[in-house]
Amino acid sequence: MANQVYDCLLWFIFAMSVAGFAGSFFYVTPYGRFKKAGNEWTLPSLPGWLVMEFPCLLAFALTYWLLGEHRLATVPLLLWGIWQAHYIYRSIIFPLRMRDRGKRMPMGAVAFGFVFNSINGFLNGYAVSTLAPHLLDTSWLLTPWFITGAVLMVVGVSINIHADTVLRNLRQPGETGYKIPHGGLYRWISVPNYFGEIIEWTGWALLSCTPAGLSFAVFSFANLFPRALAHHRWYRKTFPDYPPQRKAIIPGVI
């Protein structure tokens, strides 16, 4: 039964990624700088991030420990730890570090995040703990898949956290406006936090080598790449002195 649910949800995420990618060129999810005035259905950003992201941590953990056939094997345990570490950062530490806690998030975005993250947590938790026989032998840790994936994850996380830190430091306490970010990868691209996030989940797809890992990498790209282009257009339109050589999301390319 769990296998059938897994298959259905997996295809649902791939289909949603393709549809979302196509749709994102016509519609930008209205949060952050694209939030529409007059949207009354909002939540404060701290509980908003928690409600949106915590299900990913919880769904993975519940699936892993309640359904996982190989939950005590070394490599699946390691992957569980990596996943939890990311989602403790994303759902708790990241929103706690935000300067402007008075900001609000649209309920629609939070509801979508809640549903997607619940599915994504289940898919990856189930894949890693039950459907991946290649993870049962610790020799997996010495394969090019794992080593390349681990390096990409570390590089991606470092880029993402550094880029988000630059953004956070742009505002003084109480400020809510936008400024031009500088330093690090901002020298070359407008949205390095998204670039780092895509690299990170590509790394996860490689080091876990499961269809669920791939689906999350594809979803992250489909979601963040078009949004990065929208950020880039917005920066160029908003700031006449925006660095002209800066690309959107891939240094030197686009």
Ligand X SMILES: NC(=O)c1ccc[n+]([C@@H]2O[C@H](COP(=O)([O-])OP(=O)(O)OC[C@H]3O[C@@H](n4cnc5c(N)ncnc54)[C@H](OP(=O)(O)O)[C@@H]3O)[C@@H](O)[C@H]2O)c1
Task: Give residues in contact with ligand X (CB under 6 A).
Answer: 32-33, 98, 103, 160, 164, 167, 170-171, 178-179, 181, 193-194, 197, 220, 223-224
Nearest of 222, 219, 155 to residue 192 by alpha carbon:
155
Nearest CB to ligand X, comparing residues 40 and 72: 40
| Nearest approach, Cβ of residue 133 and ligand X (Å) | 27
Q: Which token pair is 143?
A: 């394969």
- Name the residue nearer to ligand X (CB basis): 68 or 196: 196
> By C-beta, is 197 or 248 nearer to ligand X?
197
C-beta of 46 vs 98, nearer to ligand X: 98
Write the single-letter amino acid at 98: M
**Can you state the angle between helices 211-238 and 107-130, rounded to 10 degrees?**
150
CB of 206 to ligand X, least distance (A): 16
DSSP string, 175-189: --------SGGGGTB
Q: What residue number has its CB nearest to ligand X?
A: 32
CA atoms within 13 A on the CB side of 1: 1
Q: How far is the CB of 39 from ligand X (least distance, A)?
A: 14
Q: Which of 231, 229, 207 is nearest to 217 (CA)?
A: 207
Nearer to ligand X, 75 or 163 (CB): 163
Residue 104 — φ and ψ, nearest 5°?
A: -125, 155
CB of 65 to ligand X, least distance (A): 24
* Dist CA 27 CA 215 (whole Å): 22
* Kind plus residue range of the DSSP H or E element containing 22: helix 2-24
Token reading at 166: 């630059």
The whole-angstrom distance between residue 166's C-alpha and the CA centroid of its chain comes to: 18
- Residue closer to ligand X by CB (options 177, 244) is 177
Beta carbon of residue 49, minimum distance to ligand X (angstroms, whole number): 9
Nearest approach in angstroms of CB 208 to ligand X is 15
